[in-house]
C-alpha cells in the first residue's frame, strides 16, 4: 500500500542526480588533467626562464602556477559538489529501497539502542533487524539516531510535544526535496575521526563559560615576543645589528610556544572535531536556511539553527578560525608561524573571543540537528505509505478503533488490512497456526506507536485513547541469569499487574500466553492472569490456541470479546486470507501444516 506518486518523484530525482553526477565527474577529470598540465608546464618554464635568464618564460611560468592554484580551488569546490550530488543520489536510492521492500539490507537497524527492558521495541519490531527504524531511518548523526530510537521506544508521552511534532511531520511530508537534501547533507557528517563523544565535549565546552580563556599574561606576551623578533630582524636588514639576534629571538619564541602549548591547547583543541566537520555542518545549516517553515516546531528549530542568534552565525564566524587551525596539520609551517607570530596564542585568543560571543549559540546545535533528523525520518512513513492522521484522545475510558489498518513492514504488495473496534476488558483472539493472530497484534501496536509519536498511521482510519502499552510476545529465556522462557513471561506479566495498581489506562498485548508450560497449568494460569489484569481502564488482548479462554468473563461479568482468524483449502492446499472475523475459531490446522512439511502423522501408530 505504497504511494506510487511519491515513488515516481523519488525515482525521477534519483535519475536526475545520477546524470548530474556523471557530468560533474567528467568536469572534475578535466580539471585534474589541467592541474597537472599547468603545474608541470609552469614549473618547467620558471626553471628554464630563471636558468636562461629569459624573463618572458618565467613570467609565463609564474602565471601558469597561479592558474594551478586557482584550479586547485575550483577542484575543491567541484569535489564538494560531487559529494553533495552523490549523497543526494544515495539518499534517493535508500528511500526507494524502502518503497520496494529492499530495506532489510540497510546496515543501520538501531540494534544498539535496545535496552534490556525495551520489550515493546523488541516485540513490535520498532528497533533492531527488520524493524521500522531500519526501514525509515534517515538520521546519520549520533544525536539524530539516538533521538529517533528514543521516540520509537515510547519513552516520552508529552501531549503538547506530540501535537507540535505531528504538525511538523505534516509539513515535512509535503516537501520531498527538503527530506532528500537534509538527509544527504547530514550523511556528509560521517567522519571516522570525529567521534560522537568529541562532539558532545565540544558542545559542553561551548556552553561552559569557565573554559576557553587564556591567562592575562598570555594575552600580553603574544605581542611582546613576536615584536622582539621583528625588531631584531628589521635592525639586521638595516645593518644595525648582527643577524644572530634575530635567530636567537626566533628560537626563543619557538621554545616558549612549545613549552606552553598545554595552555593554548586547552583553548584550541576542543575545535579539532569541528575543523574536521566544519564544511559538513555549514552544508547542513545552509540546507535549513534556504527553507521557510510554517509549523511551530520547525520554526523553533529554524530560529535556533539559522536565526539571528542561531548556530549558523556562529559557524560563519568560525570559518576563518577553522582555516587557521588547519595550518597545524602542516608541521613545518606551523612551527615557523609559531616563532614569527606566536601563532597558537593568536589562534587561542581568536577562539576565546569567538566562544565568548557565540558559545551559547552552538550549545544546542547538535541536539537540534538531531531532532530535525528524527522528524524527517518520521515523515518518511507518510511519504512511502498510504496513510491517514489518526486521532488520539486522553479519556479515562479506553477504546481503539482501526479501519483497514495494515502492517508497514510486511511486503506492501501482499499485506492485508484489517478492521476492529475494541473497548476495555478482555479480547481473545484465536486461530490456527500462521493465520495472522500475532501479526494483527503487532499491526495495532506499531500503529499505536506511530499515533503516539505524532506520525501518520498505516490505516484508513485509526482512533485510540492513550494507553500505556505492555507486551509479552517475543519472550526468550536468559541462560546467563537462569531465567526460563516461562518465568521470563511471568516477569513481564507481573510488570503489567504492578502498573494496573496505578489505575492508569493501559493496554496489554499477550501472544500465546504461557506457551512454555503444559496445557493444564497453562489454561489455569492464563485464566487467573487475564481476569486479574482486566479493569475498566485496561484493555487486555490475548492470542491463543486454547479455546477454553474464549469463555472467560470480564470484571463486570460480561462475556469477553472474541475474534478469530481461520484457514481455508484450495485444491487440497492450505490457504489463509489473514482477515479477522468475529467470534471464536472453530478449526485447527496443525496436522495440515505437519503434512506440508513432509510428516505423515496419519499413518503413525
- Structural domains of the chain, count: 3
In the chain, % of residues over pLDDT 90: 55
User: Residues 369, 312: contact at Cβ < 8 Å?
Assistant: no
> 463 and 581: one domain?
yes
User: Is the pLDDT assigned to residue 224 strictly greater than 70?
Assistant: yes
Query: Does residue 191 sit within a domain?
Result: yes
Contact (CB, 8 A) for 425 and 540: yes
In a domain? residue 107: no
pLDDT at 561 over 50: yes
Q: Do 148 and 69 belong to one domain?
A: no
Please check whether residue 431 lies inside any domain of the structure.
Answer: yes
Residue 109 belongs to a domain: no
Residue 106 lies in a domain: no
Q: Does position 310 have pLDDT exceeding 90, yes or no?
A: no
Same domain, 404 and 532: yes
Please say whether the beta carbons of 141 and 377 come within 8 A: no
The last residue of a domain, from among 339, 366, 384:
384
Residue 241 in any domain: the answer is: yes
Q: Do residue 214 and residue 162 come from a single domain?
A: yes
pLDDT at 603: 54
CATH for 280 = 1.10.1420
Q: Looking at the domain assignment, is residue 108 inside a domain? A: no
Copy the grid coordinates of residue 489: 513471561
Q: pLDDT tier at 194 (50, 70, 90 boundaries)? A: low
Higher pLDDT, 85 or 557: 85
Asked whether residue 465 carries a pLDDT value surpassing 90, the answer given is yes
The reply to whether 369 and 407 lie within a common domain is no
Q: DSSP string spanning 121-160?
A: HHHTTSSSTTSHHHHH----SHHHHHHHHHHHTT----HH
pLDDT band at 112 (very low <50, low <70, confident <90, very high): very high
Does residue 572 surpass a pLDDT of 80? no
Residue 75, all three cell numbers: 577542484
Residue 340 has pLDDT above 80, yes or no: yes
Specify the pLDDT at position 283: 92
Mean pLDDT of 60-71: 90
- The last residue of one of the domains, among 52, 73, 100, is 100
**Residue 449 CA from chain centroid, whole number:** 17
Q: Of 350, 384, 418, at which residue does a domain stop?
A: 384
Residues 486 and 426 in one domain: yes
Closest CA to 136 of 409, 373, 381: 381
Q: Do both 212 and 301 map to the same domain?
A: yes
Q: pLDDT tens digit string along 405-448?
A: 999 999 888 899 999 999 999 999 998 878 889 999 999 999 99
Please give the residue that has the higher pLDDT: either 330 or 384: 384
Specify the CATH number for the domain of residue 545: 3.40.50.300
**HEC readout, 294-341:** CCHHHHHHHHHHHCCCCHHHHHHHHHHHHHHHHHHHCHHHHHHHHHHH
| Residues 555 and 490 both lie in one domain | yes
Residue 203 has pLDDT above 90, yes or no: no
Q: What domain range includes position 335?
A: 114-384
Let me know whether 477 and 349 are in one domain: no
d(CA 359, CA 374): 25
Question: What value does the CA radius of gyration of the chain take, rounded to a whole number of Å?
Answer: 33
For residue 395, being part of any structural domain is answered with yes
Mean pLDDT, the chain, integer: 88
Element counts in the chain: helices (H) and strands (E): 21, 12
Amino acid at each position: 500500500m505504497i504511494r506510487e506518486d511519491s515513488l515516481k518523484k523519488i525515482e525521477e530525482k534519483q535519475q536526475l542526480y545520477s546524470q548530474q553526477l556523471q557530468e560533474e565527474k567528467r568536469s572534475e577529470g578535466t580539471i585534474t588533467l589541467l592541474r597537472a598540465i599547468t603545474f608541470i608546464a609552469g614549473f618547467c618554464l620558471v626553471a628554464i626562464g630563471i636558468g636562461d635568464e629569459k624573463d618572458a618564460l618565467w613570467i609565463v611560468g609564474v602565471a601558469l602556477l597561479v592558474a594551478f592554484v586557482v584550479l586547485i580551488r575550483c577542484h575543491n569546490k567541484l569535489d564538494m559538489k560531487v559529494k553533495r550530488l552523490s549523497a543526494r543520489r544515495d539518499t534517493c536510492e535508500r528511500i526507494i529501497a524502502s518503497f520496494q521492500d529492499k530495506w532489510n539490507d540497510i546496515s543501520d537497524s538501531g540494534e544498539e539502542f535496545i535496552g534490556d527492558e525495551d520489550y515493546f521495541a523488541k516485540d513490535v519490531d520498532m528497533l533492531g533487524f527488520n524493524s521500522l527504524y531500519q526501514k525509515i531511518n534517515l538520521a546519520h548523526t549520533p544525536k539524530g539516531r539516538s533521538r529517533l530510537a528514543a521516540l520509537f521506544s515510547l519513552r516520552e508521552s508529552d501531549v503538547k510535544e506530540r501535537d507540535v511534532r505531528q504538525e511538523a511531520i505534516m509539513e515535512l511530508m509535503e516537501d520531498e526535496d527538503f527530506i532528500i537534501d537534509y538527509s544527504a547533507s547530514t550523511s556528509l557528517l560521517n567522519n571516522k575521526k570525529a567521534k560522537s563523544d568529541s562532539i558532545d565535549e565540544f558542545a559542553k565546552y561551548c556552553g561552559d563559560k569557565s573554559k576557553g580563556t587564556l591567562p592575562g599574561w598570555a594575552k600580553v606576551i603574544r605581542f611582546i615576543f613576536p615584536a622582539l623578533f621583528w625588531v631584531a630582524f628589521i635592525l639586521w636588514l638595516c645593518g644595525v645589528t648582527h643577524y644572530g639576534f634575530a635567530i636567537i629571538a626566533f628560537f626563543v619564541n619557538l621554545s616558549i610556544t612549545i613549552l606552553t602549548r598545554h595552555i593554548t591547547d586547552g583553548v584550541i583543541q576542543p575545535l579539532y572535531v569541528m575543523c574536521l566537520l566544519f564544511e559538513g555542518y555549514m552544508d547542513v545549516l545552509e540546507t535549513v536556511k534556504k527553507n521557510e517553515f510554517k509549523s511551530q516546531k520547525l520554526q523553533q528549530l529554524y530560529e535556533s539553527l539559522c536565526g539571528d542568534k542561531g548556530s549558523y552565525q556562529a559557524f560563519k564566524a568560525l570559518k576563518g578560525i577553522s582555516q587557521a587551525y588547519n595550518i597545524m596539520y602542516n608541521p613545518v609551517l606551523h612551527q615557523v608561524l609559531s616563532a614569527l607570530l606566536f601563532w597558537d596564542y593568536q589562534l587561542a585568543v581568536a577562539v576565546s573571543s569567538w566562544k565568548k560571543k557565540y558559545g551559547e549559540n552552538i550549545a544546542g546545535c547538535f541536539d537540534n540537528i538531531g531532532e530535525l533528523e528524527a522528524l524527517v525520518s518520521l515523515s518518511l512513513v507518510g511519504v512511502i505509505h498510504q496513510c491517514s492522521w489518526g486521532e488520539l484522545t486522553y479519556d479515562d475510558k479506553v477504546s481503539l478503533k482501526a479501519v483497514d489498518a495494515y502492517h508497514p513492514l510486511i511486503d506492501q504488495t501482499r499485506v492485508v488490512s484489517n478492521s476492529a473496534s475494541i473497548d476495555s476488558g478482555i479480547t481473545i483472539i484465536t486461530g490456527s497456526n500462521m493465520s495472522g493472530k500475532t501479526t494483527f497484534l503487532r499491526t495495532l501496536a506499531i500503529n499505536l506507536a506511530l499515533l503516539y509519536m505524532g506520525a501518520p498511521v498505516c490505516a484508513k482510519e485509526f482512533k485510540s485513547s492513550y494507553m500505556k502499552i505492555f507486551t509479552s510476545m517475543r519472550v526468550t529465556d536468559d541462560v546467563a541469569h537462569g531465567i526460563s522462557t516461562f518465568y521470563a513471561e511471568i516477569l513481564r506479566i507481573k510488570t503489567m499487574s504492578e502498573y494496573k495498581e496505578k489505575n492508569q489506562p493501559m493496554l496489554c498485548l499477550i501472544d500465546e500466553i504461557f506457551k512454555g508450560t503444559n496445557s493444564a497449568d497453562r489454561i489455569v494460569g492464563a485464566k487467573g492472569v487475564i481476569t486479574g489484569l482486566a479493569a475498566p481502564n485496561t484493555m487486555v488482548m490475548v492470542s491463543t490456541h486454547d479455546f477454553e479462554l474464549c469463555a472467560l468473563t470480564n470484571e463486570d461479568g460480561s462475556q469477553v470479546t472474541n475474534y478469530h482468524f481461520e484457514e481455508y483449502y484450495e485444491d487440497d492446499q492450505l490457504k489463509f486470507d489473514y482477515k479477522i472475523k468475529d467470534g471464536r475459531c472453530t478449526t485447527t490446522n496443525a496436522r495440515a501444516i505437519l503434512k506440508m512439511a513432509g510428516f505423515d502423522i496419519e499413518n503413525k501408530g
